[in-house]
Amino acid sequence: MEFMKAGQYLGKEKIGLTKIPKPSIFENEARIRVEYAGICGTDMMIYKGKHPRATAPTILGHEFSGTIDEIKSDSSYKVGDKVVVEPTISCGVCPPCQQGQTHICQNLKLIGIDMDGGFAEYVRVPIRNLHRVPKDFPSSLASMAEPLAVAIHTVRRSTLKVGENVSILGAGPIGILIGMVAKMNGAKNVFISDISSYRLEKARQLGLQAINASNKNVVDEVFKRTNNELIDVVFEVAGTQTTMDQMVELIKSQGQIVVVSVFKNNPNINLAAMHFNEISLTTTRCYSRSDFLTALDMMISKEMVRNSLSTIVSHELDIEELAKGFSLMQGSENSLKILIKSE
């Protein structure tokens, strides 16, 4: 039997590097030799024991790219093809699936959350979750198709129009990518706040208007910089009570708040203030296949997108350093997107 290195989530704040058998595959599946896998805010929720579904032991990692090592299917894919994995698995029979909205499947599962994922040398994946990547395209960037797809889906769920003001609360990878996509869609001012000066500096490099929430009142600062114009669309991507309060204070009458963060406990939302000003509240989950394909197309065809993705990578670590990656991500001060290399 052949073995591989894998970083397993073993319970609250425990990540262990183990040697386990290489996964076997069945009909219509491929075994991927992972090259890069990104650590995501959702992995951190799991790590902290705050995710609603994930259980130990699981190999995490739902943002990954690699090459096909073995395949059992008649498809056009072959061994050696470079691929990125779209990690969502829907049931196909629940009401949202029946209506074609497979990303909000009532039984939605993700490779790397509900089943073994990309923090390993090899991973078993259904063929229908694969997307081909050009041979010369960097696998490190390809692994970021998933968070970019989240940002594209989020902006598509919004009512954002050319010339409007946007405020993003939280400059993690998702918040920053939403900012980039909003700018590409013609937003006028794109403000982004965080408590990490490191992350805000990265956001600034991408042309976003950074506000440090640890030493500035975000609402006052936005009003000052817009001459009290207020904000048309607020994206809440920090997942804190503070930002849940700010989002209602920042938004203009009849504006739209989009909550991207995942909450395990219910936060308080000032619905009375929203009611008096006819504010819309939208939520967003994952991405559709079309969002994922757009993410791939954008990164392959636009140099600006590739440069932005490279800018948000703070560390590339070997799989042996996975636990270090998780501990670096615990504080947002010196990390942003951490990629784990398992070659």
Q: Is 2 exposed, middle or buried (0-12, 13-18, 19+ CB in 10 A)?
A: exposed
Site for ligand NAD in 222-261 (CB under 6 A): 237-240, 242-243, 260-261
User: What separation in angstroms does the CA of 150 have from each of 9, 82, 161, 288?
Assistant: 23, 22, 19, 9
Instruction: Report the residue number, 113 or 298, with the smaller CB distance to ligand NAD.
Output: 113
Among 15, 83, 89, 174, binds ligand NAD (CB under 6 A): 174
- Position 196 contacts Zn ion (CB under 5 A): no
- Position 259 contacts Zn ion (CB under 5 A): no
Residue range at the interface with ligand NAD (CB under 6 A); choices 37-45, 55-63, 91-99, 311-319: 37-45
Among 17, 91, 262, 317, binds Zn ion (CB under 5 A): 91
- Position 117 contacts ligand NAD (CB under 6 A): no
Give the other-Cβ count within 10 Å of 291's Cβ: 22
Cα(308)–Cα(295) distance, rounded to whole angstroms? Answer: 13
Helix, strand, coil percentages in the chain from 3-state DSSP, rounded to 5: 35, 30, 35
How, if at all, do strands 29-39 and 63-72 pair? antiparallel
Please check whether residue 56 is in contact with residue 10, taking contact to mean a CB–CB distance below 8 angstroms: yes
Q: Which amino acid appears at position 169 of this protein?
A: L
Closest approach of ligand NAD to the CB of residue 243, in Å: 5
Closest approach of Zn ion to the CB of residue 229, in Å: 33
Applying CB under 6 A, what is the total number of residues that bind ligand NAD?
32
- Position 130 contacts ligand NAD (CB under 6 A): no
Residue range at the interface with ligand NAD (CB under 6 A); choices 15-23, 65-73, 187-195, 294-302: 187-195
Cα(8)–Cα(71) distance, rounded to whole angstroms? Answer: 24
Closest approach of Zn ion to the CB of residue 91, in Å: 4
Judged by beta carbon distances under 5 to 8 A according to partner kind, the member of ligand NAD, Zn ion, none in contact with residue 285 is ligand NAD
Cα(178)–Cα(187) distance, rounded to whole angstroms? Answer: 11
Residue range at the interface with ligand NAD (CB under 6 A); choices 11-19, 42-50, 201-209, 227-235: 42-50
Strand order across the 3-11 sheet: 14-21, 3-11, 58-59
Give the other-Cβ count within 10 Å of 298's Cβ: 21
Which residues would be at the binding site for Zn ion (CB under 5 A)? 40, 42, 90-91, 94, 97, 105
Which residues would be at the binding site for ligand NAD (CB under 6 A)? 40-42, 44-45, 150, 169-175, 193-196, 199, 213, 237-240, 242-243, 260-262, 284-286, 332
